[in-house]
Structure 1
C-alpha cells in the first residue's frame, strides 16, 4: 500500500532519546520493507505514510500535510492525552519495528483508515487549513469581542463572547470540548460553531452541515485568528462594527487517518475522558 514514509518528530523534542529511538526504528523498518524515506514534506504523495511522533499537536501538523498531498497520516503518542494519536506504549526499538513492519506489510488488510473533515479559513489575503478548529478572539487580551455570525449568507445574529470557534468533529475533543461544545463522531460530515464564555445564554453551540459557509465579523479592539491553536492572523488595527475583522470558514475536504487495528471511538473516549463502565 505505501511506497514512502515521512516522519515528523515532536516539535522542540527532536533530540529527545525516546523520540530519536522511535524515529530511527521507523526508518530502519521502512528501509527493510523497501520504502522510500522522505526528508521533504513537499515530496509526499498518495502513496506516503506520514508518521507523527509526539502528541496531538504533532499529529495535526501531519494531518495538514496529508490533506495537501492526499497522503495517509498516523500518530505515535508521546503526549499527555492523545485523542488523535492512538498508537501508544512503544518503549523499545523492537516493539516499534514490529509495529511498522506489520503496518508496511498488512496495513490495507488490518489497519482501518478513516476520513476526517478538514476546514479552510481565510481573512483578507491570508488563508490556512485546520484539522481541529479556527478561533477568533481579542489580541493578547481576555476581554470580550462582539461578533456577527453569518451562515450561508444569512445573518444569524450578533453576540458577545471571549472568543468564537468553528470546529471539526476531530476538534470536538479539543478546544471545543473545553468550551462546552458537543462531542461529534469523526465520521460525521459537520462542523460546529462554539462561543467561548458567552455573555448571554442565547449564544449556544450550533452544529451545521459541512458544506455551510461561515462568515464571522468581529469587532471591539485588536483581533487575532488561530488555526489549531497557532496564530495565523494578527492585526494592530482597532476593529469596529462599521469596519469589522472578517474571517470566512468552509470545509476543505477530508484527510485519511490510519488507526490501530483495535481502535474504537467510544473506547477511546472512555479511556481519555475517564468514563466509568460498570
Structure 2
C-alpha cells in the first residue's frame, strides 16, 4: 500500500488583500499565532506594508515562491486566483482562509483560523491538484508586449463595447466546431465551473475530472449550447474580420488584453498546476450544498 509522504513546513508565506479591516485582522491574528509557534514567516510586501509587519519579513511574491514551503492566502476566491497563478510556477502548496463572499477555494473560516491551520501544519490535511489554462494571441510570440496569461477559473472573450454582439469561430484540435454571434464565450476549468460559467448556464464539473467547458454567452441562435471537452484539447478562437470593434480577453477577470478583428487566440491546458491543501474534513460536495443552497437528505 502506498503511503503518502507528509510535507514539512519550515518557512510559511502569507498573501492576501487587506483592503478590508476584517482581512487585516485575520492576517495579524495568523501572523502572531505562527510566530508564537516558532515558524519562519514571510509576508508579501504589498500586504505587509499596510499591516506594520517587520521589514525583514516583507518580501516579493517571487521570494515567497523561492523560499516558502507553504503559502497561506487570506481573502476571497479572487485572492486565491491571484496567488495560484503566481505560485504555480514554484510548485508550492496553497492553503486558503476565507474572508470573501463565496469561498469555493478558501475553505478555512476566520473563526477557526488558528485551530485549522495548526491541524494542517501537524499533517492533518488532504492534497489536491487542479489544472490551469493559458491563453495567447496568435503571432504574439517574440513580440515586445505579448498578450499572454493563464487562468485558474476561466478565459472569457467579450465585446469591447457594451450591448454590441461579436462574431467568432471555434476550433477544437484544428477541427471547425461552430461560428457564433453573441456576447462572447467562457472557456472554464472545473474550478471555474462554479463561477462565471455557472451564471451563464454552464455545467458544474467536479475538480477531479480532466475537462473544460465552452459556454457561449447570449448566443443569437438557440442551438449554440455549452459543451464539455477534454482538457488536453487545443482550442482556437478566431475573432471574425467582420467585427467593427475590438474585443477583450479576460483571464480570471484579473488580466485583460484586446483582441482585434481577424486575430486568433489559442487556449491550452497549462503544464504547471495549482496545488491546494485542505483541512482533513474538507468535502467538495458538502461545499456545493452549503454555497449553492442545495437541500439536505430526506
TM-score normalised by structure 1 residue count? 0.88
Counterpart of 2:294 in structure 1 is: 275
Matches within 5 A, 1:47-86: 48-86=69-107
Measured in 2, the distance between the counterparts of 1:58 and 1:68 equals 17
Cα deviations across residues 126-168 of structure 1 (Å, max 9, x unaligned)?
A: 2111000000111132321111001101111211120101110
**What SS does the corresponding residue of 1:252 show, helix, strand or coil?**
strand
Q: Do 2:211 and 2:229's aligned partners in 1 also have CA atoms closer than 8 Å? A: yes
**What SS does the corresponding residue of 1:201 show, helix, strand or coil?**
coil
Superposition deviation, residue 41 in structure 1: 1.3
Task: State which of 144, 156, 179 in structure 2 corresponds to 1:135.
Answer: 156
After TM superposition, which residue ranges in structure 1, 4 or more long, deviate above 4 angstroms? Answer: none
Measured in 1, the distance between the counterparts of 2:225 and 2:67 equals 39
Superposition deviation, residue 11 in structure 1: 5.6
Measured in 2, the distance between the counterparts of 1:7 and 1:188 equals 29
TM-score normalised by structure 2 residue count? 0.82
Counterpart of 1:116 in structure 2 is: 130
Q: Do 1:224 and 1:231's aligned partners in 2 also have CA atoms closer than 8 Å? A: no
Structure 1, unaligned stretches of length 5 or more? none
Superposition deviation, residue 184 in structure 1: 0.3
Structure 1 residues 68 and 142: CA distance shift in structure 2, 3 A: farther
**What SS does the corresponding residue of 1:112 show, helix, strand or coil?**
strand
Q: Do 2:11 and 2:67's aligned partners in 1 also have CA atoms closer than 8 Å? A: no
Counterpart of 1:250 in structure 2 is: 268
Counterpart of 2:48 in structure 1 is: none
Matches within 5 A, 1:219-258: 219=240, 220=243, 221-234=245-258, 237=260, 239=261, 244-253=262-271, 254-258=273-277
Structure 2, unaligned stretches of length 5 or more? 1-7, 43-58, 141-145
Compute the RMSD of aligned alpha carbons.
1.8
Measured in 2, the distance between the counterparts of 1:52 and 1:259 equals 12
Task: State which of 230, 234, 247 in structure 2 corresponds to 1:209.
Answer: 230
Structure 1 residues 148 and 2: CA distance shift in structure 2, 3 A: same
Measured in 2, the distance between the counterparts of 1:7 and 1:75 equals 10
**What SS does the corresponding residue of 1:156 show, helix, strand or coil?**
strand
Q: Do 1:45 and 1:70's aligned partners in 2 also have CA atoms closer than 8 Å? A: no
Task: State which of 120, 125, 129 in structure 2 corresponds to 1:103.
Answer: 120
Measured in 1, the distance between the counterparts of 2:33 and 2:86 equals 22
Superposition deviation, residue 45 in structure 1: 4.1
Measured in 2, the distance between the counterparts of 1:41 and 1:112 equals 25
